[in-house]
Chains A and B, each alone.
Chain A
Amino acid sequence: MNLLVIAFKSLKQRALASSLTALSVALGIMLMVSVLVINSVVDDTFNQRSVGVSLVIGPRGSDLGNVLSAVYRIGKPSENLPYRVLTQDIPQAAERLPGVKKSTDVIEWVIPMTMGDVSEEGAFPVVGTTPKYFKVEYASGKRFTKKGQLPVNPFDAMIGAQVARENSWDVGSQFTLIHGGADSGHVHDEKFTVAGVLGPTGTANDRTVFVNIEGFFLISGHEKPPEEAIQRLRDFGYEVTPAQEAEIREASGGHDDHGHSGHDHSGHDHAGHAPHGIPDDLKEVSFILVRTKSPTASLMLAPEINEGMRAQAVNPIIVISKLMKLFVGNTRKLLLCLTALIVVVAGIGIFVSIYNSMSDRKREIAIMRALGAHRGTVFAIILGESLLLCVGGGILGLLMGHGLVVIAAPFVESQAGIIVNPWKFDAMELVLFPVLIGMATLVGFLPGLTAYRTDVADSLND
């Protein structure tokens, strides 16, 4: 009979104590696995690879705020940028780089984004952008899949998978927006129509309502009165020639200003406008996403853009990895320490259980010795018991941990829009087993030594 079989039968003899101690190890490992899985999900979500953007160009202020808002759709942009940043500043900054003739030498694509509104139903963030957004990689090597059409018309929309699911929207659904966030209370009159539905991506795009940026500009209240627009351009340090001034007044002319309750933008009815009729100088965007042809190009381009003092370019990867290191990294460490502690406590439980059983088993050990078992053999049997409890508990915990994730995955996906693969194993989990074997050795050593030292003649006479 194999020593492990002998150890297993001895454990079965004390079934209750054995299963409880193994269960305590299993619970510890289960928690550890959950932490690892959650951690890897967070990692993937906030991972460099999940960002297809080289630079986020936004209002001057917080780098982190801009990235959270532009990439993760958390929080609103603090301010808007004139359209000239897109049409002038970025190409000029690129052309100033040494050895660059045209901006397209270093820039792969530039996509503007407007933000601030939310959908009336479900309060999902609304992003106005160009159809190009859906054609480029949203993460390295990953492109959107979609049902329906790109939002090519001004009042077309493209919705994320989670939006579609939670609002029960599909191609053809119509919806309205609330101005400036869910609590402003003002619902825009304009109706948008869902042209396409994006497939799930596991990114913030899943819970975003995209509308055509032209439509976004056409919404009454999204445009500034000409005087204010001209003043804003001058505040940003742009030159506004008399001809441009005239063009701005001409484009917005003839309309009565009527203040909306709750905010004092002027607005006009989009029905009277031809699409694409708004001059660039009347447009403002929240962010401009830039993809450079190489990582170095983004490193060089960022300071060049920041030089102009109008906008702030930031590499989202740098910001996110800083955040990860600072906050998420430490949380992970803390949680892992806590779960490790639980496993250690479970190990102590095993020690107590085996050690306590030793006094009752002196005679059993003496019988084994009288049958010809070596001291080393009885030591190994006791060690085998602790090994079986630790490793068996560990395997059980691993299955329970992943089982927990299997159960939780659909829930997490529907609640947080995060796709979790329950069978994705973390490399740390492989480390668990050597660690558990080490723990088992430590825990089984002293009881094993008791068995090793058992005096056969004495114990037989008892």
Chain B
Amino acid sequence: MSLSIRNLTKSYVEPGGRRLPILNVDSFDIADAEQVVLVGSSGGGKTTLLNVIAGVTTSDSGQVVIDGTDVTTLSEPARDRFRALKIGYVFQTFNLLPAFTALENVLLGMSFSGRKVDRSHALELLERVGLNHRLHHRPTKLSVGEQQRVAVARALANRPSLLLADEPTANVDTANQDNLLKLIREACTENSVSLMLVTHSQDVASQFDRVEKLSDFNMPEAAE
């Protein structure tokens, strides 16, 4: 089991002091190398769920076990390190650091993990996403689709066991959307990486075997 969530709750405190429950998940699992698409209404808490899994946000209670480690029990620095090594994260837009070239963006992910920087692996990944002719371009010189492909390469750089993708195709035109999606899925398959991909697009969702609607397993109101 690559990801297993138990009794997870998360709420935000509103400016007035009222608690706003967002997540209340009894049980949610993703198997090794499984690919899951997550759909749901806007504001439903999909991004929050990914952030909690990535350890970028802390939950209120419950367990998030990734590859045998419950990330909710880790200290912040340990979580940072765990994230660097085990989790790849692709956002909707502006994934890349503008001061660095495509290659450098991929290498940066490696250096933050504290591992030895594997330049040839970075080059391999960029070639895999079809960008070997754009290695030394800065993000502003790349199209949105190309930027997203660099982000995918970077997310896979540390050979993670889980790839989180938060509406990665939302800002990409339809022609490139399928292309990008295919690429993400193939790369995950090749590297046996579990994938959790958030999307609004029915078109995208229909390509996956397993489609999860957030509201089907998340009952925030029940938490109160």
Contact = CB atoms under 8 A, between A and B. Distances in A.
Given A371-B112, A372-B83, A456-B56, A9 B104 contact: yes
A400 to B, nearest CB: 27
Interface residues of B, number: 32
A375 interface: yes
Contacts of B162: none
Most chain B CB neighbours (cut-off 10 Å) among A371, A457, A460: A371
B100 A457 contact: no
Interface in A255-295: none
Interface stretch (B88-96, B168-176, B209-217): B88-96
B51 interface: yes
A5 to B, nearest CB: 9
Contacts of A12: 99
B84 A372 contact: yes
B56 A373 contact: no
Given A1-B104, A374-B80, A457 B111 contact: no
B95 to A, nearest CB: 7
B191 interface: no
A456 B48 CA distance: 12
B67 to A, nearest CB: 15
B108 A370 contact: no
A369 B56 contact: yes
B111 A1 contact: yes
Interface stretch (A230-238, A331-339, A360-368): A360-368
Contacts of A456: 51, 56-57
A377 interface: yes
B89 A1 contact: no
A88 interface: no
B108 A368 contact: yes
Contact of A457 (B51, B94, B109): B51
Interface string B75-108: 0110011011100010100111111100010011
A241 interface: no
A11 to B, nearest CB: 8
Contacts of B104: 1, 9
Contacts of A10: 99
B147 to A, nearest CB: 12
8 contacts: A6-B108, A9-B99, A9-B104, A13-B98, A371-B83, A372-B109, A372-B112, A375-B80
Query: Closest 8 CB pairs between A and B?
Result: A372-B84, A13-B99, A372-B112, A457-B57, A373-B112, A456-B56, A1-B111, A457-B51
Given A373-B112, A375-B77, 11 more contacts: A10-B99, A13-B98, A363-B94, A368-B108, A371-B83, A371-B108, A371-B109, A371-B154, A372-B84, A372-B158, A457-B51
